[in-house]
C-alpha cells in the first residue's frame, strides 16, 4: 500500500522545467530580503500578467525567481484540443520566462479540471520543498475561477505542512472579474519595469493578452500605484503566522 502510494505521488510530481537563464550564483548575490521566490499560478500567464512587475523587481535584486504553472492551459484556446492548446501555451510560457529571466516549472494538473485532494496536496508540497524558496506568491483564494481557488488552497496547505518555512503572499488577478474581496496590505512599486512587464506578457499570444492587459491589468496596476503613491504598483496580502506587527512578538 505504501509503495503504491509512493509511486502514485512520484508520478504526480513529474514536472517539466526549463533551465533558468540567470547565473547560478544569483542567490548569493541577492541584495534584497529574499534569495529565492516562487510564483505559483494556475495557468500560463497568470503570474506574469498579475505580478510580472514584482518578478522583474526581484530579479533586479538578484533574487532567484521560479514561475510555477499548475496546468499547461489545456482549456484555454477555443477550437484547439487539450493537447494542441497545451503545446502552444507551453511555448508561449517558455518565451515569456526567457524575457522575465525566470526559471519555468510546469506541473501536470489539467486546466478547468484541477483537483484538490491528498495526492495533489502532496504534489504541491513536494514541488515547493524541492525548490526551497524563502517566499511564495499565489492567487488570493476568493476568485471566480475554480482553478485559481484550487491553486491557492494547495499552496496554503503546503505552507502549513512545511512548517511556515517561507513567507506566503496572495496576489490578485483581474480584480472584479476573477479576484473578489481582496484587501492588500503590501505593495511593490513597479513603475520602472511596468512597460517591460507588458512587453514580456505579449508572448501569451493565444490569450488575446492585449485585451486583458489593457482592460484589466493596466487599470489595476495604475489603481494600486495611486494607493502606493507611484505610477504603477502590484499589491499583495500577506498570510500572517509569526509575530504580531503591533506587539513585535
Ligand atoms: Zn488563470
Q: Domain of residue 107: give its range.
A: 34-238
In a domain, 135, yes or no: yes
Q: What is the CATH number of the domain that holds 198?
A: 3.40.50.10320
Q: How far is the CA of 44 from the centre of ligand 1 (A)?
A: 7
**Residue 21 in domain:** no
Q: Report how far ligand 1's centroid is from the alpha carbon of 211 (Å).
A: 15
Which tens digits make up the pLDDT trace of 173-192? 999 999 999 999 999 999 99
CB 39 within 8 A of CB 234: no
Query: Residue 132 gets which letter from DSSP?
Result: -
- Mean pLDDT over residues 131-158, rounded? 98
pTM of the entire structure? Answer: 0.90
Burial 83-93 (b: 16+ CB within 10 A, else e): eebbebbbebb
CA of 1 to the centre of ligand 1 (A): 36
Ligand 1 centroid, distance to 143 Cα (angstroms): 10
Instruction: Report pLDDT for 25.
Output: 52
| Residue 98 falls inside a structural domain | yes
Q: How many domains does the chain have?
A: 1
If residue 201 lies in a helix (H) or strand (E), which one and from where to where?
helix 194-201
The answer, yes or no, to whether residue 115 has pLDDT greater than 70, is: yes
Which range, of 20-34, 43-57, 97-111, averages the lowest pLDDT?
Answer: 20-34
How far apart are alpha carbons 10 and 19 in whole angstroms? 21
Whether pLDDT at 7 is above 70: no
What digits encode the pLDDT tens for the residues 12-35? 444 544 444 455 456 677 899 999
**Angle (nearest 5°) at CA 115 between 114 and 118:** 155
Amino acid at each position: 500500500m505504501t509503495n503504491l502510494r509512493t509511486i502514485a505521488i512520484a508520478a504526480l510530481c513529474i514536472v517539466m522545467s526549463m533551465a533558468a537563464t540567470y547565473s547560478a550564483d544569483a542567490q548569493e548575490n541577492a541584495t534584497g530580503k529574499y534569495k529565492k521566490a516562487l510564483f505559483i499560478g494556475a495557468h500560463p500567464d497568470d503570474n506574469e500578467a498579475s505580478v510580472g512587475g514584482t518578478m522583474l523587481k526581484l530579479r533586479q535584486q538578484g533574487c532567484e525567481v521560479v514561475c510555477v504553472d499548475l496546468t499547461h492551459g489545456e482549456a484555454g484556446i477555443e477550437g484547439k484540443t487539450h493537447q494542441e492548446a497545451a503545446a502552444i501555451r507551453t511555448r508561449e510560457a517558455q518565451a515569456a520566462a526567457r524575457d522575465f529571466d525566470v526559471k519555468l516549472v510546469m506541473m501536470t494538473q489539467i486546466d478547468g479540471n484541477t483537483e484538490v485532494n491528498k495526492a495533489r496536496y502532496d504534489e504541491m508540497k513536494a514541488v515547493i520543498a524541492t525548490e526551497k524558496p524563502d517566499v511564495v506568491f499565489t492567487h488570493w483564494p476568493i476568485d471566480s475561477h475554480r482553478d485559481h481557488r484550487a491553486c491557492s488552497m494547495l499552496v496554503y496547505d503546503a505552507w502549513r505542512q512545511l512548517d511556515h518555512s517561507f513567507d506566503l503572499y496572495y496576489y490578485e488577478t483581474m480584480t472584479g472579474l476573477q479576484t473578489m474581496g481582496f484587501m492588500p496590505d503590501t505593495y511593490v512599486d513597479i513603475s520602472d519595469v511596468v512597460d517591460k512587464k507588458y512587453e514580456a506578457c505579449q508572448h501569451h499570444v493565444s490569450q488575446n493578452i492585449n485585451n486583458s492587459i489593457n482592460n484589466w491589468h493596466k487599470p489595476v496596476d495604475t489603481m494600486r500605484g495611486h494607493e502606493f503613491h507611484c505610477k504603477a504598483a502590484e499589491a499583495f496580502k500577506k498570510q500572517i503566522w509569526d509575530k504580531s506587527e503591533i506587539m513585535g512578538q
